[in-house]
Amino acid sequence: MKYVSEFQDRNAVQYLAASIRERVAGKDLTIMEVCGTHTMAIARSGLRELLPDQLTLISGPGCPVCVTDVSYIDRAIALSRMHGTVIATFGDLMRVPGSDSTLEKERANGADIRIVTSAMDALFMAGQKAGQRVIFLGIGFETTIPTVGVVIQSAKSRHIRNFYVLSSHKIMPPAMKALCEGDVRIDGFLCPGHVSTITGPAIYDDIVKQYGKGCVVTGFEPTDILSGILMLSKQILAKTPAVENQYKRAVLPDGNPRAKEVMDEVFESCDTPWRGLGTIPASGLKIRDAYASWDASVQIAVPVKESREPHGCRCGDVLTGRIQPEACPLFGNPCTPDYPAGACMVSSEGTCAAHYKYGFHRK
Amino acid sequence: MCLAVPMRIVKIDGNSAVAEAGEISQTIDIQLVPSIQLNDYVIVHAGFAIQKMDESYAREALELFEEMGRIS
Ligand code: SF4
C-alpha cells in the first residue's frame, strides 16, 4: 500500500459524489473547508464539478501563510536589514506583501535570506555560521509547531546560541470559534487532517457543543474529501452535529502524544493577530520563558513602523468565507500569483491562488 | 508549506531516517514518532515524520471503496 493512489479510485469517487447529490437534493448546505490544503486538493481534482449546486463550499483561514499578519512580515523585514543577520524561512513567505516591501525584494537588495524546507535546516545553518545570527520565521499550525519545538529543544541541548525563532504560530480551534460567532453562514466544518494528526479529533468537541456545528476530520485524497462531505451532509441534514473522523489511517484518537508533549513543553498560549480575523484571544503560541534565549521577539529589539494592509486587498473577506476571490476587484488584474497584492494569492494553498490557477468559478 | 505526504522509511540512523515516495527520497527527522521501524509508512511534513500510517484503518477504508466500486 502506498496510501495515495488507492484513495483516488474513480469508481468510489463517482459513487460518493452520487450519494452526496442524492442526499443533498432540494436542500441547501454550506460547508467550510478550513484547511488550505483541502482548498487546493478540491480545486486540483475538479471535485466541485461533481457536487450539487445547492452545496456551497467555502474556504477557511487554514493557510498559515495567508493568515500571517502584515506586522509580522514587517518585523521579519526589519530584522533582515540588521547587520550580521541571516533569515531562514519557508519559501511561501518570500512574496507575502508587508506594508511596503517583501522578503523577496529585501533579498534582491542584499539581505541574507535563505529558503529552508525544515526548521532543522535553519538550525544546521546556525551551526555553520558562527558570528552571525540565524532567525527562523516560525509560522504554522499544530502540524508544524511540534517540528519547530523539537528544533528549539535541540538548540538548547546543543548550546547553539546564534539561533532564534520569530514565532507567530497559531492554533486552529479559536479561529473556527471566531467564525462561528461571525455573520457568515457555516453549517459544518471539514476539519484539517494534518492538524488533527497531531492533536487528535477532540479539539473540535467545543465547536459541536457550543455552536452545534458538525466537524468531520478529513484526509486529502479525492475519496477522503468526498467521504468527509458525505458524512458532514448526513450530520447537518439529520441535525446531529458531532465530531467524526474520516481520516483514521492518519488521525488516532489521541493524535500524536509525543508531538503534543513537545508543543506544550516549548510553547504557551497567547493572543495573536490573524490577517482578516483580527486578534483572537488564546489563538497563538509563544515561546515559553525556559526557552526565551531562542526567542527572537525577546532577544532582538528592532523598531518597526506601524503596519498597513495592502491597499484594496480583500484577503480578510476571502479568509472568512465572506466573498469568493473573484469578487475582489484586484483578482486577476493586477493581483496574480506572479504579482500578488495579498497573501491569499501567494501560497499555493491560498484560496485566491487556487481559484486563479485552476480558473474555476465557484458555485 | 503545509504539505504533508505519506512516505516509506527505508533507512534509520539515530534521530534521522531516509524516506521514499515514488522517485523522491528525503532525509527526515524522526524524533516525533519514536516507535518508527523500517518499511513503516509515515506522514512527512516540513522535514519531520509526524505520524505513522495505520494500515488496518487504511484497509478498512479501501474495502469500503471496493464495495462502492462494485455497486456503482
Ligand atoms: S485577489 Fe489578491 S488582492 Fe484580492 S483578496 Fe485575493 S490576494 Fe487579496
Rounded distance between C-alpha atoms, residue A124 and residue B12, angstroms:
20
Rounded distance between C-alpha atoms, residue A141 and residue A64, angstroms:
7
Domain total of chain B: 1
Cell of A232: 458532514
**pLDDT for the residue numbered A363:** 39
Q: Is A90 in the pocket of ligand 1 (CB under 6 A)?
A: no
Residue A165 structural domain: 65-172+255-299
**pLDDT for the residue numbered A206:** 97
Q: Is A40 in the pocket of ligand 1 (CB under 6 A)?
A: no
**pLDDT for the residue numbered B71:** 63
Query: Is residue A288 a contact partner of residue A268, using CB atoms and an 8 Å limit?
Result: yes
Report residue A204: phi and psi, to 5°: -95, 0
CB-based contacts of A298: which residues, under 8 Å, 6+ apart? A287, A292
Residue located via cell numbers 504539505: B3
A81 found inside a domain: yes
Q: Is A319 in the pocket of ligand 1 (CB under 6 A)?
A: no
Q: Determine, for residues B68 and A11 on separate chains, whether the beta-carbon distance falls below 8 Å.
A: yes
Q: Determine, for residues B61 and A7 on separate chains, whether the beta-carbon distance falls below 8 Å.
A: yes
User: Does residue B5 sit at the A interface (CB-CB below 8 Å)?
Assistant: yes
Question: Whats the size of chain A, residue-wise?
Answer: 363
**pLDDT for the residue numbered A361:** 45
Q: Determine, for residues B1 and A16 on separate chains, whether the beta-carbon distance falls below 8 Å.
A: no
Tell which residue, A13, A10, A245, A6, has the closest CA to residue B62: A6
Of A35, A65, A147, which is closest to B46 when you measure between CB atoms?
A147
> What's the CATH code of the domain at A157?
3.40.50.11740
Report residue B64: phi and psi, to 5°: -60, -40
**pLDDT for the residue numbered A360:** 53
Tell which atom from ligand 1 comes closest to the C-alpha of A328: 4
Tell which atom from ligand 1 comes closest to the C-alpha of A315: 5
CA angle B12, A135, A352 (to 5 degrees): 85
Rounded distance between C-alpha atoms, residue A225 and residue A165, angstroms:
34
Tell which atom from ligand 1 comes closest to the C-alpha of A318: 5
- pLDDT one digit per residue (tens) for chain A, 363 residues: 788 888 888 888 999 999 999 999 889 999 999 998 999 899 888 898 899 999 999 999 989 999 999 999 999 999 999 999 999 999 999 999 999 999 999 999 999 999 999 999 999 999 999 899 999 999 999 999 999 999 999 999 999 999 999 999 999 999 999 999 999 999 999 999 999 999 999 999 999 999 999 999 999 999 999 999 999 999 999 999 999 999 999 999 999 999 999 999 999 999 999 988 899 999 999 999 999 999 999 999 999 999 988 888 999 899 989 999 999 999 998 999 999 999 999 988 899 999 999 875 443
A195 found inside a domain: no
Domain total of chain A: 1
CA angle B34, A269, A39 (to 5 degrees): 70
User: Does residue B16 sit at the A interface (CB-CB below 8 Å)?
Assistant: no
Residue B51 structural domain: 5-70
> What's the CATH code of the domain at B39?
2.30.30.140
The pLDDT tens digits for B16-66 are: 999 999 889 999 999 999 999 999 999 999 999 999 998 888 888 888 877
* Chain B residues within 8 A of A34 when measuring between CB atoms: none
Rounded distance between C-alpha atoms, residue A56 and residue A45, angstroms:
17
User: Does residue A160 sit at the B interface (CB-CB below 8 Å)?
Assistant: no
Burial A179-207 (b: 16+ CB within 10 A, else e): bbeeeeebbbbbbbbbbbbbbbbebbebb
Question: Whats the size of chain B, residue-wise?
Answer: 72
Helix (H) or strand (E) holding B45: strand B41-45
**pLDDT for the residue numbered A3:** 81
Could you tell which of A313, A339, A355, A361 is best to mutate to test the pocket of ligand 1, judged by most ligand atoms within 8 Å of the CB?
A313
Tell which atom from ligand 1 comes closest to the C-alpha of A343: 7
**pLDDT for the residue numbered B53:** 93
A86 found inside a domain: yes
Q: CA of B37 to nearest chain A CA: how many angstroms apart?
A: 16
Q: Whose CA is nearest to atom 1 of ligand 1?
A: A331
A343 found inside a domain: no
Query: Is residue A339 a contact partner of residue A359, using CB atoms and an 8 Å limit?
Result: no
User: Does residue B10 sit at the A interface (CB-CB below 8 Å)?
Assistant: no
Q: CA of A178 to nearest chain B CA: how many angstroms apart?
A: 22
**pLDDT for the residue numbered B22:** 87
**How far is CA A105 from each of CA A78, A96, A115, A180, rounded to the nearest angstrom?**
13, 10, 14, 38
A121 found inside a domain: yes
Rounded distance between C-alpha atoms, residue B44 and residue A2, angstroms:
13
Of A2, A6, A256, which is closest to B51 when you measure between CB atoms?
A256
How many interchain CB pairs under 8 A, A with B?
Answer: 140
ipTM score here?
0.91
CB-based contacts of A218: which residues, under 8 Å, 6+ apart? A38, A190, A191, A193, A224, A225, A227, A228, A246, A247
Residue A26, helix vs strand vs coil = coil
Tell which residue, B4, B3, B9, has the closest CA to residue B41: B9
A242 found inside a domain: no
Q: CA of B1 to nearest chain A CA: how many angstroms apart?
A: 7
Q: What is the dihedral of CA A79, A83, A85, A89, to 10 degrees?
A: 50
Tell which residue, A145, A201, A207, A190, has the closest CA to residue A170: A145
User: Does residue B38 sit at the A interface (CB-CB below 8 Å)?
Assistant: no
CB-based contacts of A178: which residues, under 8 Å, 6+ apart? A277, A280, A283
The two most distant CA atoms of chain B are separated, in Å, by 48
A137 or B2, which is more confident?
A137
Q: Determine, for residues A147 and B33 on separate chains, whether the beta-carbon distance falls below 8 Å.
A: no
